[in-house]
Chain A
Amino acid sequence: MEFKTHISVKNLNLWYGGQQALNDISIDIPDKKVTAIIGPSGCGKSTFLKSLNRLIDLQDDVKVNGQVLVDGENIYDPHVEITHLRKKIGLLFQRPQALPMSIYDNVAYGPRIHGTKHRKDLDGIVERYLKLSGLWDEVKDRLQGPASKLSIGQQQRLCLARSLAIEPEVILGDEPTSALDPISAEHIEQRFLELKKQYTIILVTHSLRQAQRLADYVIFFYLGNIVEHGPAAEFFRNPKDAKTQAYINGRFIEGRKADKELDLKGTVCPANFVKAKLALEGLDEGKVLRIIVDYEPAVSELPRAMEYEGHKVLEVKRLSATDWEIVIQRL
Chain B
Amino acid sequence: MDKRKLEESFFKGVMLFSTFVVVGSLLTIIATIFIKGLPALDLNMLIQTPKGGYYLGKEGGILNAILGSIILGFGSVVLAFLVCVPIVFYINLYRKKKSRFAWLVRFVLDVLWGIPSIVYGAFGFTLMVFFGLRASLLAGIVTVGLLIIPIMARSMDEVLKTVPMELKEVPLALGSTRLETSKVVFRQALPGILTAVLIAFGRGISDAAAVLFTAGFTDYLPYSLFKPVATLPLSVFFQLGTPFPEVQERGYASAFVLTVLILVISILARVISGRFTKNIVK
Give Cα A85 to B184, complex, Å: 20
Give Cα A29 to B165, complex, Å: 28
Q: Which residue of B lies closest to A146 (CB)?
A: B279
Is there an interface contact between B98 and A308, defined as CB atoms closer than 8 Å? no
Stretch from B45-53, B168-176, B202-210, B235-243 contacting the other chain: B168-176
Indicate with 1 or 0, residue by residue over A96-115, a CB within 8 angstroms of chain B CB atoms.
Answer: 01111110000001100110
A101 interface neighbour in B164, B175, B187, Cβ under 8 Å:
B187
In the assembled complex, the CB of A56 is this many whole angstroms from the nearest CB of chain B, namely 10
In the assembled complex, the CB of B187 is this many whole angstroms from the nearest CB of chain A, namely 5
Q: B154-184: which have CB < 8 Å to A?
A: 161-162, 164-177, 180, 184
Q: Is A126 part of the binding interface, using a Cβ–Cβ cutoff of 8 Å?
A: no
Q: Which residues of A contact B174 (CB under 8 A)?
A: 86-87, 90, 109-110, 113, 162-163, 166
Q: A273-331: which have CB < 8 Å to B?
A: 297, 301, 304, 307-308
Q: Is A59 part of the binding interface, using a Cβ–Cβ cutoff of 8 Å?
A: yes
Q: Which residue of B lies closest to A86 (CB)?
A: B175
B167 interface neighbour in A53, A99, A146, A166, Cβ under 8 Å:
A99
Give Cα A93 to B165, complex, Å: 12
Given contacts A60-B96, A100-B187, contact A113 B279 (CB under 8 A): no
Give Cα A93 to B164, complex, Å: 13
Give Cα A331 to B168, complex, Å: 21
Given contacts A87-B175, A113-B176, contact A99 B170 (CB under 8 A): yes
Q: B78-106: which have CB < 8 Å to A?
A: 96-98
Q: Which residues of A contact B280 (CB under 8 A)?
A: 100, 146, 148
Given contacts A304-B164, A307-B165, contact A100 B175 (CB under 8 A): no
Q: Which residues of A contact B278 (CB under 8 A)?
A: 146
Is there an interface contact between B164 and A307, defined as CB atoms closer than 8 Å? yes
Given contacts A99-B281, A102-B279, contact A308 B162 (CB under 8 A): yes
Q: Which residues of A contact B173 (CB under 8 A)?
A: 53, 55, 86, 89-91
B279 interface neighbour in A58, A84, A89, A148, Cβ under 8 Å:
A148
Q: Which residues of B contact A58 (CB under 8 A)?
A: 96, 165, 168-169, 172
Is there an interface contact between A110 and B175, defined as CB atoms closer than 8 Å? yes
Give Cα A147 to B278, complex, Å: 10
Indicate with 1 or 0, residue by residue over A105-142, a CB within 8 angstroms of chain B CB atoms.
Answer: 00001100110000000000000000000000000000
Q: Is B188 part of the binding interface, using a Cβ–Cβ cutoff of 8 Å?
A: yes
Q: Is A249 part of the binding interface, using a Cβ–Cβ cutoff of 8 Å?
A: no
In the assembled complex, the CB of B183 is this many whole angstroms from the nearest CB of chain A, namely 10
Give Cα A83 to B171, complex, Å: 10
Give Cα A98 to B164, complex, Å: 11
Is there an interface contact between A97 and B166, defined as CB atoms closer than 8 Å? yes
Q: Which residues of B contact A90 (CB under 8 A)?
A: 173-174
In the assembled complex, the CB of A308 is this many whole angstroms from the nearest CB of chain B, namely 6
Q: Is A95 part of the binding interface, using a Cβ–Cβ cutoff of 8 Å?
A: yes
Give Cα A59 to B279, complex, Å: 27
Q: How many A-B residue pairs have CB under 8 A?
A: 90
Is there an interface contact between B170 and A100, defined as CB atoms closer than 8 Å? no
B175 interface neighbour in A98, A113, A146, A304, Cβ under 8 Å:
A113
Q: Which residues of B contact A147 (CB under 8 A)?
A: 279, 281
Give Cα A102 to B97, complex, Å: 29
Q: Is A2 part of the binding interface, using a Cβ–Cβ cutoff of 8 Å?
A: no
Is there an interface contact between A60 and B161, defined as CB atoms closer than 8 Å? no
B170 interface neighbour in A97, A102, A304, Cβ under 8 Å:
A97
Give Cα A85 to B174, complex, Å: 10
B169 interface neighbour in A55, A98, A304, Cβ under 8 Å:
A55
Q: Is A71 part of the binding interface, using a Cβ–Cβ cutoff of 8 Å?
A: no
Give Cα A61 to B180, complex, Å: 24
Q: Which residues of A contact B165 (CB under 8 A)?
A: 58, 307
Q: B229-282: which have CB < 8 Å to A?
A: 278-282
Q: Which residues of B contact A93 (CB under 8 A)?
A: 166, 169-170
Is there an interface contact between B98 and A99, defined as CB atoms closer than 8 Å? no
Indicate with 1 or 0, residue by residue over A148-163, a CB within 8 angstroms of chain B CB atoms.
Answer: 1000000000010011
Given contacts A97-B164, A162-B174, A308-B161, contact A297 B98 (CB under 8 A): no
A100 interface neighbour in B162, B172, B176, B188, Cβ under 8 Å:
B188
Give Cα A297 to B282, complex, Å: 9
In the assembled complex, the CB of B277 is this many whole angstroms from the nearest CB of chain A, namely 9
Q: Which residues of A contact B279 (CB under 8 A)?
A: 100-102, 146-148
Given contacts A61-B98, A97-B166, contact A84 B281 (CB under 8 A): no
In the assembled complex, the CB of A149 is this many whole angstroms from the nearest CB of chain B, namely 9
A60 interface neighbour in B97, B166, B171, B282, Cβ under 8 Å:
B97
Q: B106-146: which have CB < 8 Å to A?
A: none
Given contacts A91-B173, A102-B279, contact A60 B162 (CB under 8 A): no
Give Cα A166 to B173, complex, Å: 10
Q: Which residues of B contact A (CB under 8 A)?
A: 96-98, 161-162, 164-177, 180, 184, 187-188, 278-282
Closest 3 pairs (CB-CB, A-B): A87-B175, A97-B166, A100-B188
18 contacts between A and B (CB under 8 A): A53-B173, A55-B169, A61-B98, A83-B177, A84-B175, A86-B172, A90-B174, A97-B166, A97-B169, A99-B281, A109-B171, A109-B174, A110-B174, A110-B175, A113-B171, A147-B281, A148-B279, A307-B164
Q: Which residues of A contact B (CB under 8 A)?
A: 53, 55, 58-61, 83-87, 89-91, 93, 95, 97-102, 109-110, 113-114, 146-148, 159, 162-163, 166, 297, 301, 304, 307-308
